[in-house]
Structures are given as structure tokens and as C-alpha cells.
Amino acid sequence: MRLIVFIQGAYGERILENLRRRAPEGWVIDDSVIPGDLPAMIEEPEGIVEGMELGGSWDLVIFMGESQSAFTLLPSILEKLKVKSVIAPVDDYEWLPRGLERQIGGEIEERGVEIVFPRTFCALTPVGVPSIDVFAELFGAPSLEVEVINGVVSCVDVLRGAPCGSTHYMAEKLPGTKIGDAKPRAGTLVQIFPCLASRRVDRYFGDAPIHVAGKLAEKALDKALGE
């Protein structure tokens, strides 16, 4: 599996670090930095992308722009790469409003490239695209196995973890918690990791993405406990 990961700030840096820490042996993970000081309106994206010195053949692009300007570079970036699929997570609505997502997604799909925009990144699940699914089997919506002894969580194994690493943090801290307290504690632990999803109420969810991330962890725990 060959991945190239595009980052623009602290959000992407944290996720890239976790991917490199937890990816299977044999995965190749390269990275490229998106300029952080992009203008609000980019008239010639090709000029900016040319300076990024991109190339090569990749199974998957992980694109973690942190501004609308960054996302407008994505079609030009993909012109420089041999790739068939892209994951472009959105953990803050301001980074990529839905209208811009439809515009960019349509342009990219017209070129024969599959793209998904998980909101939040820890909501990602397999979608039927091989290279995306290989990634999503390990990173995305949390999936757990939980052992309980005498009404207390004794062990939590992560089958699939949030790309930022919050699921593993929760799994380390949750043992010793009474079953009745485990679900809210799981959500809280994910949020204080700290979760880097936006704290602003998102019109897509009607809630803050950070709260959505916490609820996904709670849902995974519920499922593991058979509730």
C-alpha cells in the first residue's frame, strides 16, 4: 500500500504521526505540505502546485487541507500524481462547505478518480473502493472488542481506530471503569485526547464535530458490549 498524505497544519500532522505509528509493516507513507498562507481566492492553482514538486504513483491520497483555499488546489494536485482514489476528511465545515465539496468532487470524479469526504475522519468506513477499503479496515469509525469482569471493563482491544489515535487513547484509559460509566467516559476520553475536530456547531450535523467523534466512540463501545 502506497500512500501520500497532504497536510497543512496541526490537524494533519497529528494524524500523519499516528498513521506512521500504527500502519502495517510494508505500507509506504510519504507526505507533502500544503502552503499555509494561501490567499482566499486562488486564480492560478497550477502555479502553487508546481512549487510542491509532486509526482509518482500511489494507491491512495489522504488530503488534509485546513482551508477552502487548500481544497481548491486538490484537482491540480491530482493532475501531478498517478492515483485512483482519495480520502479528503472534513472535521470543520468551514474548511469545505458542502457546495464546494460537490464542485470539487464532481470535477475529480470526471477524471476517473474515486473520492470520499468523511465528516468526521473517524466516521470513515469501507465504501467498495479497494484502496480506500484497505485503509478503512484499520483507520476510521472505531471498532472494539471489550472484556468485562465482574461488571468492570478489564481490557479494550482496538480493531479499527480513529485516524488521529484517540480510539487507542480511550482503550488505554477505559479499563477499570464500571460498565454503567463506560459509555460516557469513552466519549469524554476521545474528546480530551484532545480531539482536533471543530468545536463549532456544524450545519451538516446540527452539532459540533468533536461531539460527533465522542458519540462514534460511544457507539463502538455499545456494539462491543452487545447493547
Mark the ranges of the chain whose per-residue pLDDT is less than 50: none
Same fold for the domain at 2-136 and the one at 143-225?
no
pLDDT by residue (tens digit) across 67-100?
999 999 999 999 999 999 999 999 999 999 999 9
b/e for 127-150, b at 16 or more Cβ within 10 A? eebebbebbbebbbbbbbebebee
CA neighbor of 58 nearest in space, from 132, 160, 163: 132
Helix or strand (DSSP H, E) at 190: helix 179-191
CA neighbor of 209 nearest in space, from 93, 98, 97: 93
C-alpha 21/C-alpha 14 separation (Å) is 11
In words, the CATH class of domain 2-136 is alpha beta
pLDDT of residue 226: 87
Which CATH architecture is the domain 143-225 placed in? 2-Layer Sandwich (3.30)
pLDDT of residue 39: 83
> Domain limits of the chain?
2-136, 143-225
pLDDT of residue 176: 97
Assessment of whether the complete model's pTM goes beyond 0.85: yes
pLDDT of residue 227: 62
